[in-house]
């Protein structure tokens, strides 16, 4: 590996060590979140209450030297509550911009499916273009702007399903499961002392590994990761097969191909390699494709899930040697 990729690997290890001071277990989830950040994309976090979705986003923002903001999505939330608005300043006799929470490095959109589509769509421009338009004027957001949106997978009363266009803007859907018995025991023991996760983060025991501006430069080192043409074809075949599968009503589009390609390359960097393998693709495949697929109603009634369909597709597509 060259100097840039070596430096990236050292950074990733340092980030993992610092995050582990707060988040117990969840190594796969942390790696997937780092994949989204490294590639400059966004992630959908899904898990039951209390598994650490909000804490994970806050910790990553702190470790990577970025500003963190949180929006609690509710049915009465308006688009201007996210982007901001112009307010008349009587002292200077002119309108001034009151910036919304979207002007940040890391944004946590908490329970994003609690707000109606009009409010959810306020994030679309920000996620795609890293800019927002307020009263016909466009304002740039930081290049490191990253959205982590959370959903509760079991509580659907009073929720609004995410539009397909918005779900497609999330590179990954990261499912956070509950801790193992040993992890939960460690968590319980920590809560009785000064090393409770929230307290560790608040007291500054978790250090900042790198400023947000320097982290952007390290993203360029991903271009040094080699991916063979056969693997690109493999990724393409997997995504295209979602458009032909008998159980899928709506398959993944070209953005899914790009997401799987970029995320597999980032995962190779996380594993300390300067080349992509089929295992990188298989590891990220479900997280990239699951939320982009719509099953036919008759298969949903049978209890078939999109993740099961993706796993079946991976078994059917020929893996390059």
CATH of the domain at 78: 3.40.50.300
Residues 207, 271 within the same domain: no
Residues 38, 128 within the same domain: yes
pLDDT of residue 71: 92
In tens, the pLDDT along 117-127 reads 888 888 888 89
Residues 26, 145 within the same domain: yes
For residues 241 and 62, the answer to whether their CB atoms sit within 8 Å is no
In tens, the pLDDT along 162-185 reads 878 788 889 999 998 888 889 888
pLDDT of residue 297: 92
Last residue of a domain, one of 200, 223, 246: 223
According to DSSP, the β-strands at 170-176 and 248-250 are: unpaired
- The size of the chain, in residues, is 321
Residues 142, 230 within the same domain: no
pLDDT of residue 116: 84
Strand order in the sheet with 146-151: 68-72, 106-110, 146-151, 42-47, 170-176
Query: Bridge partners of 98?
Result: 85
For residues 284 and 292, the answer to whether their CB atoms sit within 8 Å is no
Query: Bridge partners of 72?
Result: 110
Q: Phi and psi of 191, rounded to 5°?
A: -65, -20
What is the rounded average pLDDT for all residues in the chain? 87
Residues 257, 171 within the same domain: no
Mean pLDDT within 279-300: 92
Name the residue range of residue 255's domain: 225-321
CA distance 100 to 104: 9
State the total domains in the chain: 2
- Cα–Cα nearest to 107, from 57, 156, 177: 57
Residues 208, 231 within the same domain: no
Does residue 279 carry a pLDDT above 90? yes
């Amino acid at each position: 590996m060259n100097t840039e990729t070596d430096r990236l690997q050292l950074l990733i290890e340092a980030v993992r060590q610092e995050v582990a001071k707060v988040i117990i277990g969840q190594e796969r989830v942390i790696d997937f979140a780092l994949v989204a950040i490294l590639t400059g994309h966004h992630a959908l976090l899904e898990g039951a209450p209390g598994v650490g979705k909000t804490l994970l986003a806050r910790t990553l923002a702190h470790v990577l030297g970025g500003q963190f903001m949180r929006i609690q999505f509710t049915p009465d939330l308006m688009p201007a509550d996210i982007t901001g608005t112009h307010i008349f300043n009587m002292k200077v006799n002119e309108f001034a911009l009151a910036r919304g929470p979207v002007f940040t490095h890391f944004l946590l959109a908490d329970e994003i499916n609690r707000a109606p589509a009009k409010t959810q769509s306020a994030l679309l421009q920000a996620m795609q273009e890293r800019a927002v338009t307020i009263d016909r004027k466009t304002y740039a957001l930081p290049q490191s702007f990253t959205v982590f949106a959370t959903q509760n997978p079991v509580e659907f009363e009073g929720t609004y399903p995410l539009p397909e266009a918005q779900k497609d803007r999330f590179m990954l859907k990261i499912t956070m499961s509950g801790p193992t018995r040993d992890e939960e025991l460690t968590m319980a023991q920590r809560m009785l002392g000064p090393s409770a996760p929230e307290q560790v983060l608040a007291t500054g025991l978790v250090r900042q590994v790198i400023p947000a501006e320097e982290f952007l430069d390290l993203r360029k080192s991903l271009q040094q990761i080699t991916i063979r043409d056969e693997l690109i074809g493999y990724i393409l075949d997997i995504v295209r097969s979602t458009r032909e599968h008998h159980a899928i009503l709506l398959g993944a589009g070209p953005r899914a191909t790009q997401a799987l390609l970029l995320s597999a390359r980032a995962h190779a960097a996380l594993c300390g390699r300067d080349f992509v393998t089929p295992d990188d693709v298989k590891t990220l495949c479900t997280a990239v494709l699951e939320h982009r697929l719509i099953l036919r109603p008759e298969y949903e009634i049978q209890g078939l899930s999109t993740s099961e369909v993706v796993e079946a597709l991976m078994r059917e597509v020929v893996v390059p040697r």
